Every structure is written in C-alpha cells, then in structure tokens.
C-alpha cells in the first residue's frame, strides 16, 4: 500500500492510522471502555448494548458490566417528553 508514497507521507500515515489488526482491536477496546466510563459518570445505571459481531461475554469482561446483545432486546415503551425509553 505504501510503495508509491514518499517516506515522509508513509511515516505520517503510520503515525495516524493503525494498520495492524491486533493494535486496532486494542485501541478500539480502550476507546469504548473510556466512553462507557464517561457515560457511567453521568448515568450510573447506563445499559450497554452490543450491536456488533463480538460476543457480549468478552465485552462484559472488558467493561466489568452486563452487556446485552441489541438483537435480543425490544423497546417496551416509546419515549416521550416525560418518559425515558425502556427495554424488555
């Protein structure tokens, strides 16, 4: 991929783009963990939903919290100005 790039361009790209799958998964996990922590500060009872291909059990270990698969939950009520959405 980088064969036609100048050394400077290739170096800049390597510094900003993660081309290694394991590295990317680690960085994505850290990003999601940080976002979950931020949400918990504002909303202590936040519910985490998995809408991806990764197994929820692995995510529960990462987040130290229950993670539900989005396909397995259904809205129980429509949100309104005075009501929050619920899941069943």
Domain ranges of the chain: 7-74
CA 20 and chain centroid, separation = 18
Per residue in 7-53, pLDDT tens?
888 777 777 777 788 888 888 888 888 988 898 898 888 888 888 77
Confidence of residue 88 (pLDDT cuts 50, 70, 90): low
Per the confidence metrics, is the pTM higher than 0.85? no
Position 65 scores a pLDDT of 82
Q: Quick check: 80 pLDDT over 80?
A: no
Q: How far apart are CA 46 and CA 22, in angstroms?
A: 28
Q: What tokens appear for 63 in the block?
A: 């987040």
Position 77 scores a pLDDT of 63
Q: How far apart are CA 34 and CA 3, in angstroms?
A: 35
Provide the 3-class DSSP secondary structure of residue 84. Answer: coil
Q: How far apart are CA 27 and CA 3, in angstroms?
A: 26
Q: Quick check: 81 pLDDT over 60?
A: no
Q: How far apart are CA 2 and CA 17, in angstroms?
A: 12
Position 87 scores a pLDDT of 63
Position 76 scores a pLDDT of 67
Between the alpha carbon of residue 30 and those of residues 53, 65, 73, the distances in Å are: 17, 15, 26
């Amino acid at each position: 991929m980088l064969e036609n790039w100048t050394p400077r361009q290739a170096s800049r790209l390597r510094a900003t783009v993660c081309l290694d799958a394991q590295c990317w998964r680690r960085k994505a996990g850290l990003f999601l963990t940080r976002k979950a922590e931020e949400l918990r500060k504002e909303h202590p009872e936040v519910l985490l939903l998995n809408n991806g291909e990764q197994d929820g059990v692995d995510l529960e270990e990462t987040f130290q919290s229950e993670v539900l698969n989005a396909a397995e939950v259904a809205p129980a009520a429509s949100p309104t100005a005075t009501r929050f959405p619920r899941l069943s």
